[in-house]
Structure 1
């Protein structure tokens, strides 16, 4: 099968959408498919093009059996609302020549990852003109999220973006997304079940505490008897990171609880500023892929803050690794959201923005190692049953074959309770 993956983010980015896009492309290539990728230069989550890349050049490279084409793009240092739009528009425009260059190659499926939705008109036009199938994979509902989080505020922009989204949802042959609540939202947007596919973000099930985990804690100065609470990932607008600094300050007198904040993004500088006089708070840069399991294994508790206005528009991709690590999770989420329903099985859910509630949850788990063990074991078992990389991607491969062979519907009524249920 010839597959063209069209995505803004890709390896060597270490977190978020880029990580999953690359693992998907490489798995499909390893299983005999001819895979090409149109993407940008790596910049996320630091919002700065990597030192070994030039953001103003076109580039072609081979990565793990995948042919990768990189388009120029503009990356703002401080991604405000208008700057974000220009950033996305720069990729949508600069990637057009790379898309046109695939005309003679003629893929059987063009697989667009949202965000950015701005690439959907070109992807659909290419698919129709070259008589190939078009698949839209929604990692974030970027239109709703942008307005809910206040990233975009102009009504005319909302109208235009909503019209663009409606057009995409009406015309792509398959629509997939990463959670049951996001599938339900697609249904409410009038996408029929026969075009919907559940495609969750998977986990590395081999994650476990190791000698490297112990060494990492020691290097940070975390005592062996202390409980380490970890946040790792993007430090941006959707996370509500201010609650982490508030919780750390409220626990400043408790030397038995330490915090590890690992990541990059526009919110990191402010988080560091708020925690600068707290000796039990430790900051790390994003860890290389080979070190990431050791980082997760170094934690006793995982922290998953999320703003209330992002509920059910995104499902944090970092949750998969948290569950696979066998550690409990404390998440901030509104009752009744999918994130709250899921995490309540493997940890504690607290209201968004309530630092006192997060502190109480941390203290409760810190004082009860047996409870931490039960939550962690339950999360690891759930991840093994639902988020195994090979199982998820084998199912994607099957759906791609059905689509290209003129097969039937996507996955009806699939929920997080059972991968592949009908």
Structure 2
């Protein structure tokens, strides 16, 4: 007998066409659920990330309703700060949460969903989702992409000091107490379980690698001609440029390797710290470009000889960068600035090198060592592709999520607590060969 399709209401601040980060995975999840026959409605914000300005073609002031990829998408206008720090960032999230309260109640009045899925951040909109789920007596699945409060503390972006942190921490624990809670890596699942208590239901629901990245990995990148790159090797960073990334470290490493005529550093990104990065990069020889279209991601990542994944100290277990699976899928080694034992270190084992956060000399030495050792570079790139296939397969991840979502809806007494961290095997096949732990570069 064919299973009855679910009516799924999703609330998430970020959604396509934002080119990077959470939006890619929320829209991918919604569109695949719709393609599998479910009725999917999404309440999201006006696209503005990571540029922090509303994208052309989208309204600053009006609520819009469109069908996109088989999904009924409601976009809410909200405050978009040009500099997303402190109280301005809080106002950004608060304005969305207030509008989302009205939009969710309206959606549930029109037709009560079978299940509500809330994407965090932001915690404020997740709290709205929990309130509405309680009011309409529907199960709530909360998916945590980013430990928002801890990241704000680690990057010094939280105004108000300890009292504000304590208040927001209590609000966060309440907001994240859904019928099911999931996150994107074992390290983040463990932190959530500790935060929410021993009866928390925490599932592992990974992000995925873009299949197009694998298909383009062996071809010569057209960006080499377009950007007139004559040097044989490219060190690439592509993604958001904000406080938690610490991309300035890449510029410092480029200056230390300025004498190398065979290495070109390229940064592709937008974000709150873009202007400061451009100032720091003057005279360094680093090429800085805007983020490239999502459909050209495979071409861009194929440009690299080596990928760099900078993170500030203390952030390696607070968020698993969404760019990592695609870096691995591209078949190029990854140099991550993280300590041993962190989530980033465990997730990229055998596929690159670790260097200490904020240590430009160590990063430069690691880059030079891989550029000068093509055999080792190729072996680490191949290990990365195996990891991507084993752990970040899109179809398997989303099919498993769909099954777990249906289980939440149909099981009697859906709000019973589930103890511990639950790790469904979203990627069931194993990597070919033995994967070594990631190596710490001396």
TM-score of the two chains, using structure 2 as the length reference? 0.90
Taking the aligned partners of 1:325 and 1:236, their CA distance within structure 2 comes to: 24
Taking the aligned partners of 1:411 and 1:247, their CA distance within structure 2 comes to: 45
Task: Give the alignment partner of residue 146 of structure 2, picking from 122, 140, 150.
Answer: 140
| C-alpha contact 1:228 1:259 (8 A) present in aligned 2 | yes
Structure 2 partner of 1:260:
266
Structure 2 partner of 1:195:
201
- Structure 1 residue 178 corresponds to structure 2 residue 184: yes
Taking the aligned partners of 2:428 and 2:389, their CA distance within structure 1 comes to: 14
Any idea what SS the aligned residue of 2:176 has?
helix
Q: Which runs of 5+ in 1 are unaligned?
A: none
Shift of 1:153: 3.9
Deviations 1:276-296 (CA, angstroms, capped at 9, x unpaired):
2233x2122111121111001
- Structure 1 residue 271 corresponds to structure 2 residue 277: yes
- Structure 1 residue 380 corresponds to structure 2 residue 385: yes
| C-alpha contact 1:231 1:260 (8 A) present in aligned 2 | yes
| C-alpha contact 1:205 1:384 (8 A) present in aligned 2 | no
- Write the mapping of 1:41-190 to structure 2, written as runs, cut at 5 A: 41-103=46-108, 104-154=110-160, 155-170=162-177, 172-190=178-196
| C-alpha contact 2:126 2:175 (8 A) present in aligned 1 | yes
Aligned CA distance change for structure 1 residues 211 and 165 (closer, same or farther; 3 Å): closer
Taking the aligned partners of 2:62 and 2:426, their CA distance within structure 1 comes to: 44
> CA RMSD for the aligned pairs?
2.0
Task: Give the alignment partner of residue 25 of structure 2, picking from 5, 17, 20.
Answer: 20
Shift of 1:252: 1.2
Aligned CA distance change for structure 1 residues 420 and 157 (closer, same or farther; 3 Å): farther
Task: Give the alignment partner of residue 250 of structure 1, picking from 234, 253, 256.
Answer: 256
Taking the aligned partners of 2:132 and 2:353, their CA distance within structure 1 comes to: 46
- Write the mapping of 1:333-412 to structure 2, written as runs, cut at 5 A: 333-406=338-411
Shift of 1:193: 6.3
Shift of 1:419: 4.3
Any idea what SS the aligned residue of 1:21 has?
helix
Q: Which runs of 5+ in 2 are unaligned?
A: 1-5, 430-442
How many residue pairs are counted as aligned between the two chains?
A: 418
Task: Give the alignment partner of residue 241 of structure 2, picking from 232, 235, 242.
Answer: 235
| C-alpha contact 1:8 1:91 (8 A) present in aligned 2 | yes
Shift of 1:51: 1.8
Taking the aligned partners of 2:19 and 2:303, their CA distance within structure 1 comes to: 18
Taking the aligned partners of 1:418 and 1:389, their CA distance within structure 2 comes to: 9
Aligned CA distance change for structure 1 residues 419 and 412 (closer, same or farther; 3 Å): farther
- Write the mapping of 1:307-346 to structure 2, written as runs, cut at 5 A: 307-346=312-351
| C-alpha contact 2:100 2:128 (8 A) present in aligned 1 | no
Deviations 1:361-400 (CA, angstroms, capped at 9, x unpaired):
0000101111111111111111111111000000100100
Aligned CA distance change for structure 1 residues 329 and 415 (closer, same or farther; 3 Å): farther
Taking the aligned partners of 2:128 and 2:148, their CA distance within structure 1 comes to: 18
Taking the aligned partners of 2:221 and 2:126, their CA distance within structure 1 comes to: 46
| C-alpha contact 2:235 2:307 (8 A) present in aligned 1 | yes
Any idea what SS the aligned residue of 1:102 has?
helix
| C-alpha contact 2:8 2:114 (8 A) present in aligned 1 | yes
| C-alpha contact 1:114 1:139 (8 A) present in aligned 2 | yes
Aligned CA distance change for structure 1 residues 326 and 221 (closer, same or farther; 3 Å): same
Aligned CA distance change for structure 1 residues 49 and 212 (closer, same or farther; 3 Å): farther
Taking the aligned partners of 1:142 and 1:99, their CA distance within structure 2 comes to: 22
TM-score of the two chains, using structure 1 as the length reference? 0.94
